[in-house]
């Protein structure tokens, strides 16, 4: 295809409840949306998963927008026969910025698949029509409020609970929830909040039969994760550290991770995500689909990925209502703990333009 127009739009959408992690407290989501239009007039949408501030990863919304305008869009827009598969190759010389690149690749892919009338799920190799939902629970003010929040999710039917932890909000929080729900699939996410000397403390989590502990140490501390994995029984699962197929392969080879959280934005797109999925399937490594508090645009695409056969653990692919009072697409509604995988062409959803315009804080057309 030839790109005729690229629209970059920033929206501001409130969260239904504050989301507190070891790195920030978020009460709303600022999201950069990409809309491409090709020579046929076909539109493709995507969402850049970067947050407002560079606290989870080095990328941040305003930086991503600048990066797109300054370097990435100029590299793509002159091409006459652009395909989504070309995008990562063309953008490779520009180092880093995986979330930014992923957003451009996905918007091009959405338009390409709409032109061919193929769903993203089919394109990626999905084998499931619905996906089991987990939910990520932020750090609470106290254990009572944590128990209330978890109860609301268990009652809603979520099939796996993930607790955000940090030093001082870990053993007691996990113990509380495990005692209330002796059988529920439970895991924790530290977002790099611990250091190598904390293996004793993290070993105390072994007694709670957790599915995994996500990213306990610094994103660059692959050796530290490998050492920790030998010390504790809970499987270590890397999130922040895995930014490419190469880094996934390295971490597996070094035994720094025995489960992988695949987030398409973090690894540079859905095409790279499938490669990581395939690597893991070949090595019998379970994978699950992470989340970045996406709107319906990003959620639709994540569900397509999570429908691949290697995604054997429930992901952070929760219903729209877990995040927003009103989503920008048709809401994703959970039924019996599952979300349906969109079947329409491309990502299978489009935004409600009236609502989108209402919450838009900035729009530019290139
Ligand atoms: O570490 O998985 C994470 C949200 C934003 C940034 C990082 C993470 C998260 C979540 C929430 O845990 C996942 C979701 O429900 O989208
Ligand atoms: Mg995580």
| Cα dihedral 111/8/31/315 (nearest 10) | 20
Q: Do both 22 and 75 map to the same domain? A: yes
Protein residues within 5 Å, CB atom, of ion ligand 2: 189, 214, 239
- The residue nearest atom 12 of ligand 1, judged by CA position, is 136
- For residue 324, the model assigns a pLDDT of 98
pLDDT at 167 over 90: yes
Q: Of 295, 304, 311, 346, which is closest to residue 113 (Cα–Cα)?
A: 346
Residue 94 placed within a domain: yes
The structure tokens listed for 3 are 């790109």
Helix axes 222-231, 245-253, angle to 10 degrees: 40
CATH number at residue 335: 3.20.20.120
Query: How many domains is the chain partitioned into structurally?
Result: 2
Q: Is 146 helix (H, G, I), strand (E, B) or coil?
A: helix
Does the CB atom of residue 239 touch ligand 1 within 6 A? yes
> Residues 259-285: pLDDT tens digits?
999 999 999 999 999 999 999 999 999
Residue 38 placed within a domain: yes
Ligand whose nearest atom lies closest to the CA of 242? 2
The structure tokens listed for 151 are 């109860």
Q: Do both 185 and 105 map to the same domain? A: no
Q: Which atom number of ligand 1 is nearest to the Cα of residue 162?
A: 12
The structure tokens listed for 31 are 């999201």
CA distance 161 to 177: 9
Ligand 2 centre distance from Cα of residue 364 (Å): 31
Question: Looking at the DSSP assignment, which residues form a beta bridge with residue 33?
Answer: 9, 47
Ligand 1 centre distance from Cα of residue 252 (Å): 22
Ligand 1 centre distance from Cα of residue 290 (Å): 7
Q: Do both 158 and 296 map to the same domain? A: yes
Q: Do both 80 and 206 map to the same domain? A: no
Mean pLDDT for all residues in the chain: 98
CATH number at residue 40: 3.30.390.10
Q: Which residues contact 146 (CB under 8 A, 6 or more apart)?
A: 137, 140, 163, 173, 176, 177
Ligand whose nearest atom lies closest to the CA of 237? 2
Q: How many CB atoms lie within 10 A of CB 227?
A: 15
> Residues 283-303: pLDDT tens digits?
999 999 999 999 999 999 999
Q: Of 130, 234, 121, which is closest to residue 188 (Cα–Cα)?
A: 234
CA distance 160 to 181: 11
Active site members: 164, 263
Q: Do both 232 and 291 map to the same domain? A: yes
Q: Please list the helix, strand and coil fractions of the chain in percent, rounded to the nearest 5, in that order.
A: 40, 25, 40
Q: Do both 158 and 18 map to the same domain? A: no
Q: Of 94, 98, 109, which is closest to residue 3 (Cα–Cα)?
A: 109
- The residue nearest atom 13 of ligand 1, judged by CA position, is 291
Name the strands in the sheet holding 287-289, side by side, starting at the edge strand that comes first in the sequence: 134-137, 160-164, 186-189, 213-214, 236-238, 259-262, 287-289
Q: Do both 105 and 126 map to the same domain? A: no
CA distance 296 to 23: 24
Q: How confident is the model at residue 350 (pLDDT cuts 50, 70, 90)?
A: very high
Residue 35 placed within a domain: yes
Q: Do both 66 and 145 map to the same domain? A: no
Give CA separation, 337 vs 17, 131, 155, in Å: 21, 8, 10
Mean pLDDT of 137-160: 98
| Cα dihedral 120/122/124/130 (nearest 10) | 80
> Residues 231-246: pLDDT tens digits?
999 999 999 999 999 9
Asked whether the beta carbons of 276 and 245 are under 8 A apart, the reply is yes
Ligand 2 centre distance from Cα of residue 67 (Å): 25
Q: Do both 218 and 200 map to the same domain? A: yes
Boundaries of domain holding 268: 122-340
Mean pLDDT of 158-185: 98
pLDDT at 78 over 90: no
Residue 345 placed within a domain: no
Fill in the DSSP letter of residue 210. Answer: -
Ligand 2 centre distance from Cα of residue 49 (Å): 13
Residue 27 placed within a domain: yes
Does the CB atom of residue 293 touch ligand 1 within 6 A? yes
> Residues 307-341: pLDDT tens digits?
999 999 999 999 999 999 999 999 999 999 999 99
Residue 211 placed within a domain: yes
* Residue 264 CA to its chain's centroid (Å): 6
Q: Do both 104 and 150 map to the same domain? A: no
Residue 295 placed within a domain: yes
Q: Do both 112 and 141 map to the same domain? A: no
Q: Do both 262 and 355 map to the same domain? A: no
The structure tokens listed for 217 are 């140490």
pLDDT at 104 over 90: yes
Fill in the DSSP letter of residue 255. Answer: T
- The residue nearest atom 8 of ligand 1, judged by CA position, is 292
Mean pLDDT of 52-71: 98
Asked whether the beta carbons of 27 and 13 are under 8 A apart, the reply is no
Does the CB atom of residue 318 touch ligand 1 within 6 A? yes
Question: Looking at the DSSP assignment, which residues form a beta bridge with residue 146?
Answer: none
- The residue nearest atom 9 of ligand 1, judged by CA position, is 292
Spell 154-175 as b/e; 16+ CB within 10 A means b: beeebbbbbbbbbeebbeebbe
Asked whether the beta carbons of 333 and 321 are under 8 A apart, the reply is yes
């Amino acid at each position: 295809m030839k790109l005729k127009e690229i629209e970059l739009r920033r929206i501001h959408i409130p969260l239904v409840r504050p989301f507190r992690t070891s790195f920030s407290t978020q009460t709303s989501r600022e999201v950069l949306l990409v809309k491409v239009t090709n020579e046929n007039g076909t539109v493709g949408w995507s969402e850049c998963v970067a947050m407002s501030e560079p606290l989870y990863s080095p990328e941040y919304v305003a930086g991503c927008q600048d990066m797109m305008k300054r370097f990435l869009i100029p590299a793509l827009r002159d091409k006459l026969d652009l395909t989504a598969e070309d995008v990562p190759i063309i953008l490779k010389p520009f180092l880093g910025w995986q979330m930014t690149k992923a957003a451009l690749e996905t918007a091009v892919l959405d338009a390409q698949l709409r032109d061919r009338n193929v769903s993203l799920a089919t394109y990626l190799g999905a084998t499931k029509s619905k996906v089991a939902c987990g939910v990520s629970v932020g750090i609470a003010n106290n254990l009572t409020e944590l128990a209330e929040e978890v109860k609301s999710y268990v009652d809603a039917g979520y099939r796996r609970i993930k607790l955000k932890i940090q030093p001082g909000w870990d053993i007691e929080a996990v113990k509380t929830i495990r005692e209330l729900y002796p059988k529920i699939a439970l895991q924790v996410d530290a977002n790099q909040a611990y250091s190598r000397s904390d293996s004793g403390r993290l070993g105390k989590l072994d007694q709670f039969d957790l599915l995994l502990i996500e990213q306990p140490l610094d994103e660059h501390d692959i050796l530290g994760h490998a050492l920790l994995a030998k010390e504790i029984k809970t499987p270590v699962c890397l999130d922040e550290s895995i930014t490419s197929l190469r880094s996934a392969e390295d971490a597996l080879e070094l035994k720094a991770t025995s489960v992988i959280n695949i987030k398409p934005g973090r690894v540079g797109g859905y095409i790279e995500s499938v490669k990581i999925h395939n690597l893991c399937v070949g090595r019998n490594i379970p994978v699950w689909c992470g989340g970045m508090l996406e709107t319906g645009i990003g959620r639709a695409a994540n569900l397509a990925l999570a429908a691949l056969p290697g995604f054997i653990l429930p992901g952070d692919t929760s219903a729209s209502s877990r995040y927003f009072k009103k989503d920008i697409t048709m809401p994703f509604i959970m039924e019996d703990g599952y979300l349906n995988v969109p079947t329409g062409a491309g990502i299978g959803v489009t935004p409600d333009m009236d609502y989108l315009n209402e919450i838009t804080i900035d729009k530019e057309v290139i």
